[in-house]
Chain A
Amino acid sequence: MRRIGWLWRNLFRRRAIEDELDDEITSYVEMLTEEKIAAGMMPAEARRAAKVELGSAESVKEAVRSVSAGIFLRQVTQDLRYAGRTLKGQPGFVLISVVTMAMGIGINGGIFSILNSLLLRPLPTPQSGELVNMYQQLANADKHDYIGGLYRFSMPEYRAYRDENHVFAGLAAYHPELAVLVNDDAQETVGQVVSCNYFNVLKPAMTIGRGFAEAECSGEGASDLVVLGNDFWQREFGGDPAIVGRRLRMNRVPVTVIGVAAPGFAGTDLVPASFWAPLAMMKALSGGMKDSDFSSRGVSWLELVGRRRSGVSLEEVQANLAVIAKGIDHQEPGRSTTLTVSDAKLLGAPNIRKGVMGAGAGLLTAVGLVLLIACANLANLMLARSIARGKEIAMRMALGASRNRVVRQLVTEALLVAMLGGVLGAAIACWSGAVLFRFVQGHLPPGAPPVQVTILADWRVVGYAFLLTLLTGVAFGLIPALRATRPDLNTLLKQEGAGLTMGRERGAFRGVLVGGQVALCMVLLLACGLLVRALLRAQTVDPGFTMSGVAVLSYDLGRVGYSDAQARAFNTSLVERFTGLPGVDGAVEALGSPLGDRHFVSVFRVDKHPEQAASYLEVSPGFFSLLKIPLVRGRDFSQADVARGAKYLIVSESMARKFWPSEEPVGKVVEYGPQKTKWEVIGVARDAEVGELGENNRRFVYLPPDPADELRMQVVMVHYKGDYGALANALSGTAKALDPALKVRVAKLEDNLAPYQAISRLTAGAAGILGFSALALAMIGLYGTVAYGVSRRTREIGLRLALGANTGDLLSLLVRQAMRPVAIGAAVGVILCAAVSRILAGVLFGVSPYDVVTFTAVPAMLVGIALLASWIPAHKALDVDPAVTLREN
């Protein structure tokens, strides 16, 4: 308490304290004088002697001040005031630094605010801190189907966790991203089916009406109720309050609206939900679900979110759920479950989280590197300034300021500049996140999920920006300050400028700065080069099958209530009619199109070999010739094979090599699927990137259409000649003629490349912008360093020229000296990039992370530009008349 009182007085009653101190010392001197007069001295002499005994009154006062409370704070304010005054005189320096910092911190913070919204911010529901996400990873489990995500749960698993736990006030399940047609809309609407405790667990506010009640979901029968999202209600029904009780049709199933959720709640996923229906409606809305899928542990389709009982910790939840998981494992020999339990966030699934975190970390690192390069430039500027201020610094140190104190003063200046930039940067960060996110959204390929995230800046973003500001401020302030206040400063000051060549050490520090910049720049540019190569590849790729002249028609019969038999009839007559269209020379149905968005994976086994998981596709006869995939051995399926349900399959060359390295594959037997039925190989197809572009694993299996999968046959590929537009109309017209209500989509097969191109375009674009900002910054730094160096050596240059040095030799000497740190930096950069480029492999689509073209072209370009950046100022310096430079100095 007492301390605080003194602190208060020292800080805010400064004047009174100082006056009192002054009086005290004056009275001391006067009494000392009297004492001396009394001892027999003359008054004038006594006064002089007293003053001598006191010494410097100012230094006594300073000694008193330095022990009083709040001295540190007072020095800081002093430093700040002084820094303010100094900087006021250098608006150019301040402007460049502030703008550089603001841009760097702004963009960095913007990216962070996106990650924050996705990964860190709690869900927008009441008491969201109690909500918990749950995911499972299974080993050796008999799962034959995952709908939507690898970490989801089956219905029986959900029931076990829901009923056996004692840690949750409630555990809800939902299946997100269910697209349905509402009434007669042309566009599909995305919603969710949810367990009936969903609204009790998440407790979102309701605009009108209510959520589901437990009783409405007991029993397997369809409960034809629906809750609407606020946006959807506003958009489609104009916010009509009479909506409750209205009947809507979803995929031709009548449902009754019972409520509307309040604005701001659109589920707990990236894709906002426009409506919620009870889980039992899944079968009616999705088409592909069978009754058995609700009771089977083999079909995973549910995401789980629970609300902890109050006072129960996350660890207790984990422990309790692990016990239940053990119980489930016991029912299936060999099965083991790994549960991931975490506080609920927008992005919860561990794989997606990891991916986004990786991408985000990469991006933040890249932007951070650019910021670092910018910092190096500022440090350079700062160093030049402190050398120019060398006399002032030397003076202050000579007058007894400690090095510590002077460094603090210089760092305060840097921090002040950084803070100005940081405040501006934080403002930019609050806004740039949303802009960046919208930009990315705008460049996603057609067909990407309609992701919607509110990017908000909160205390985390501001804190991040502040931390960044502090770090950069210290980074570009501290090192130059330490160097400027080195103990041997005096001698150095005397030598530099007077000497002929630049001080070696100081030059070395600049060299380190330049080398570091070049190294960082090299890493970014190489990454950028690799991504551009990947983009080119995605544009000009040969996936091993023909993409041109193929149209893809897709539709979903299950969703509009077809039975298997009806679907077969529809598919058959559709293909028949297509083959009859003018310009069409082949039509083939399949489960999905090559490089399409539907993937099918199953397990295959040969004799005693271990099981192999491989992608597969069910295709009807003619698939290989239509897509020009050569069959290197054996033959295609025939219509007769399909008709009699023959268990034949065709494998890719890689698959054949894997199973039978030195034997004839045709005629061999393969066990397929969890049922382990035996299938005979009748052909081997040339490897093609059918599943994914640039995949290393080209093991692929082609199966004939399975009659049980008739409803899932949702794609017909047509090879055509001539105009695509007319053909597309003819195709959808033909489908509409068969079923006017069916929604069909026609696209070119090449369009399947769009997602790959979009990813490459985005990553290459981002890397390009960052790479070239880095290049520009690094080259400005190099130019500045060389220009500064030669400007301090004009006398040396003049002397050399006067003594008859050859201009060319001199130029090459200057450039060579400048290029030494560049060369070292470039080499370090190449090594660094080679060490980390593996992490890009996922988005390179088959371009090697050590791609030779990139790794020669980029360093060559960078070194070339660096040569230019050092040649120009060196050349300029040589332009001067030696007589002038000599006289000037």
Chain B
Amino acid sequence: MGKQQHSNLLQGTLDLLILKTLALGELHGLGISRRIEQITRGTFQVKPGSLFPALHRMEEAGWLSSRWGESENNRKAKYYELTKSGKAQLGAEKTEWDRISVAIRCALES
């Protein structure tokens, strides 16, 4: 429940996290979810109910591309990778996020 609230609260945050995660290289669904957990030090645990819709939405938007491949344990898995426009999007969202976080911090400290 807690994570869903996060995703509601910070709309676009999940997108940013996924884009950031994939910037380091292609990953499958579970991998993405684990990586996010890792880089946010456990703050965000992305559940499949929000992960998969986000992945599909971003793929349709052309930010991600996908292919079927083999996992570490030789399992069939769907891998996602950033496209060119995905990289551009990551840059844009980063800037936007910086702008917002600075603004929020200013607001809180004033």
Taking Cβ atoms with an 8 Å cutoff, the residues of A that contact B are 2-3, 6, 20-21, 23-25, 27-28, 30-32, 34-35, 53-55, 59-60, 63-64, 66-69
Contact = CB atoms under 8 A, between A and B. Distances in A.
Contacts of B78: 20, 23-24, 27
B48 A60 contact: yes
A264 B78 CA distance: 69
B73 A34 contact: yes
Interface string B28-69: 111000000000000000011110111011001010000000
Given A2-B62, A3-B60, A67-B56, A55 B73 contact: no
A2 B65 CA distance: 12
A55 B77 contact: no
B30 A32 contact: yes
Given A27-B29, A27-B76, A66-B53, 20 more contacts: A25-B52, A28-B29, A28-B30, A31-B28, A31-B73, A31-B77, A34-B73, A35-B30, A55-B49, A60-B52, A63-B50, A63-B53, A64-B52, A64-B53, A64-B56, A67-B53, A67-B54, A68-B56, A68-B57, A69-B60
A60 B49 contact: yes
A31 B49 contact: no
Contacts of A28: 28-30, 48
Given A32-B30, A67-B53, A6 B73 contact: no
Interface size of B as a range: 20 to 34
Nearest to A9: B60
Given A25-B52, A64-B52, A34 B75 contact: yes
Contacts of A66: 53
Contacts of B28: 27-28, 31
Contacts, number: 62
Contacts of A32: 30
Contacts of A54: 48
A54 B53 CA distance: 13
B49 A23 contact: no
B95 interface: no
A69 B53 CA distance: 12
B73 to A, nearest CB: 6
Which 4 pairs, one residue from A and one from B, show the smallest C-beta to C-beta distance? A67-B57, A63-B53, A67-B53, A6-B60
B71 interface: yes
Nearest to B50: A63
A63 B57 contact: no
Contacts of B71: 27, 31
A20 B29 CA distance: 13
7 contacts: A3-B60, A31-B71, A31-B77, A34-B73, A63-B53, A67-B57, A68-B56
Contacts of A2: 60, 62
Contacts of A67: 53-54, 56-57, 60
A484 B73 CA distance: 54
A371 to B, nearest CB: 44
A25 B78 CA distance: 10
Given A55-B49, A60-B48, A68-B56, A23 B76 contact: yes
Contacts of B48: 25, 28, 53-55, 60
A459 B76 CA distance: 56
Contacts of A27: 28-29, 71, 75-78
Contacts of A68: 56-57, 60
A13 to B, nearest CB: 13
A636 B75 CA distance: 120
A54 B52 CA distance: 11
A63 B71 CA distance: 25
Contacts of B54: 67
B12 to A, nearest CB: 14
B55 to A, nearest CB: 8
A68 B61 CA distance: 10
A32 B77 CA distance: 12
A28 B33 CA distance: 11
Contacts of A60: 48-49, 52
Given A6-B60, A28-B29, A31-B30, A63 B52 contact: yes
A23 B77 CA distance: 8
Contacts of B57: 67-68
Contacts of A20: 78
B4 to A, nearest CB: 11
B69 to A, nearest CB: 11
Nearest to A57: B48
Given A31-B75, A34-B73, A67-B57, A24 B29 contact: yes
With most chain B CB atoms within 10 A of its CB, the pick from A24, A34, A63 is A24
Nearest to A20: B78
A31 B60 CA distance: 25
A132 B64 CA distance: 60
A55 B47 contact: yes
Nearest to B85: A2
Contacts of A34: 73, 75
A712 B35 CA distance: 105
A4 to B, nearest CB: 11
A51 to B, nearest CB: 11
A35 B78 CA distance: 17
